Chain A
């Protein structure tokens, strides 16, 4: 005689009930499915509230006060919209916004173009493509602190490989290739490093998009004698577009908050040529100790990124509906 799995399950359940103390059994039995579901997700929600939501509301509150973090015992006064007014009328902060826009525009443009081109090549599945994919992905896996430090060495005019390579190709003496010290070259030095590090990420997302295009569409296009150029613009690009937009959204949001790489490579210098918004924010918050004003500045950046995300989600939905 065989025993069905149900019998085993029932026996196990009975054993569990017998082993559980009586009051707890009664309480658990009284809980609805919804209550149990809430019990499971409650710790995550509590953590999210503590780490994400509470600091946001706290920053909003601080942005309306004259609070200074280096004087915790000083009286905190409500200054209304004073901090916002100062942030939105300060020419230096305005200049840092323009630096941020320049940085975001070029990094996203380069990363999208190079990332998509690499994904298109990798998707050809040539011999050894898996090896090359792994090799290309390495920069993305490194810590920004590590990348910042070793690119500082690469950019060194006397001993840096970058300076030697440029000197070899152009004939300019290495001592004149001051990537981090030149007002004109420093912004591009950061753009090059960010592009080097995050292009693999864009490539990975674009590759997912390219791999999701069914082969039969290309086969139908072949039957219709569509050229490779026509297939690229009429099939590949439109079908990979939601993925490209997703990559642009993620990189756009990340690059608006860019801090670590700039801080390690130039620290905002020379002068203030590479002083992006997050560097100005850090100086305001932890060098000038104007916590209230820097909170207002942080909220302005948050609103900008939130608005941008709304536009992108709308665009993404429209592309997906096509």
Chain B
């Protein structure tokens, strides 16, 4: 009697898996981190230069969040 042949397959990504920068979850987390950073920069009492660049950081984070939140799950 022959034993059934077992074969090993290397794990592969499921079909249709998107790259990191097109996935909603991680990119939303990145956008939220940038917004939080901008927020802290706006209200921190330590360096004027951080306050100066806070608006740009906030805008980048907010626009990024608006875009990536439209990505499919």
Chain A interface residues (CB < 8 Å from chain B): 84, 88-89, 91, 94, 97-98, 100-101, 300, 303-304, 306-308, 310-311, 314
Contact = CB atoms under 8 A, between A and B. Distances in A.
Nearest to A89: B52
A314 B24 CA distance: 12
Contacts of A84: 55
B43 A303 contact: no
A84 B54 CA distance: 11
B55 A303 contact: yes
Given A310-B65, A311-B36, A91 B58 contact: no
Q: Which 3 A-B pairs have the closest CB atoms?
A: A101-B43, A307-B35, A88-B52
Most buried by B among A89, A91, A98, A307: A307
A98 B58 CA distance: 17
Contacts of A310: 31-32, 35, 62, 65-66
Interface string B29-69: 00110011011001111001001111100110110011000
B64 to A, nearest CB: 10
B31 to A, nearest CB: 8
A121 B41 CA distance: 38
Contacts of A300: 42, 55
B62 A307 contact: yes
Contacts of A100: 43
A97 to B, nearest CB: 5
Given A94-B48, A314-B65, 7 more contacts: A88-B53, A98-B44, A100-B43, A304-B39, A307-B65, A310-B35, A311-B32
A164 to B, nearest CB: 36
Contacts of A314: 28, 32, 65
A88 B55 contact: yes
Contacts of A306: 62
Given A88-B51, A89-B52, A314-B28, A304 B36 contact: no
Contacts of B58: 303-304, 307
A311 B42 contact: no
B51 A97 contact: yes
Nearest to B33: A311
A300 B41 CA distance: 13
Nearest to A98: B45
B29 to A, nearest CB: 8
A308 B39 contact: yes
A94 B55 CA distance: 12
A94 B52 CA distance: 9
Contact of B43 (A88, A89, A91, A98): A98
B37 to A, nearest CB: 10
Contacts of B31: 310
Nearest to B51: A94
A97 B55 CA distance: 13
B41 to A, nearest CB: 10
A303 B32 contact: no
23 contacts: A84-B55, A88-B55, A97-B42, A97-B43, A97-B51, A98-B43, A300-B42, A303-B55, A303-B62, A304-B39, A304-B58, A307-B35, A307-B39, A307-B61, A307-B62, A308-B35, A308-B39, A310-B32, A310-B62, A311-B36, A311-B39, A314-B32, A314-B65
